[in-house]
Amino acid sequence: MKLKIKTLFRLLVVLFLISTTSFILYYPIKLIYSRIAERSNILKVFVSYVVDGDTIRVDINKSNVSVRLIGIDCPELSDPREQVYAEESLEYTKKRLLNKEVWLEFDVQRKDRYGRLLAYVWLKPPNRFNEEDVRKNMFNAQIILDGYAKVYTYPPNVKYTDFFVKFQREAIENNAGLWNDDLFKEDTSSYYIGNIKSKVLHRPTCKWGQKISKYNRVKFKTKTEAILQGFSTCRECKP
């Protein structure tokens, strides 16, 4: 009987050691594969031209292609009200990116309907992909922090949306860049309608705002309230 108990005990010890070893080995390997998968979405390129604050052209395999930066939207050069800040955003991007090597990171959707690549632009090869890494080394984040771009969320490319919304709050609180001008914060309507799904803010008279289902509709008293929650303004009704 004692022999059977000892044998059973030894078996349990062996099984425990095997399961523990498997657990210890599995998670570092899983982490390594996760990092490899993330880095497989990284491409080193040369920035040859800056179109505007949120669009650049890069050289890839002897081709020159257009890249739209994910998660941001800069003032439009075509809008007389925003022209001054559009020019400042353009100069900011030129100063930081033109004629430099950068690293593009892709998300779920790689191209938009115009055929442009959609990417996050890293000034250094990304390492940990965490908030500190994004804040220090990603251009998309830095142009938001410095107030030369607004957050523009467009699913399914939402990997860093939470970071971008947080950075935009900081920029607004610091009156950085365009947020120093009331043009981008003043209320031009008695209330606003937001689409929870698309994260776009509309005037109540906007035809697109009126089409939002009651399940995706949210009402805001002020534009700033919506912006602080990561909503971007409709390009048609321009609230």
Residues designated as active site: 68, 76, 116
Q: Do the Cβ atoms of 77 and 83 come closer than 8 Å?
A: yes
DSSP per position, 10-29 = HHHHHHHHHHHHHHHHHHHH
Residue with tokens 């996050």: 120
Residue 152 backbone dihedrals phi, psi, to 5 degrees: -135, 105
What span, in angstroms and rounded, lies between the C-alpha atoms of 30 and 216? 37
Nearest to 89 by CA among 138, 51, 55, 53: 53
* 122-143: b (≥16 Cβ within 10 Å) or e: bbeebeebeeebbeebbbbbbb
Q: CA 76, 81, 84, 87: dihedral to nearest 10 degrees?
A: 10
Using DSSP bridges, classify how beta strands 117-122 and 150-151 pair: parallel, antiparallel or unpaired.
Answer: unpaired
List, in sequence order, the alpha helices (H) in the chain: 2-39, 83-97, 131-137, 139-145, 161-173, 207-210, 223-228
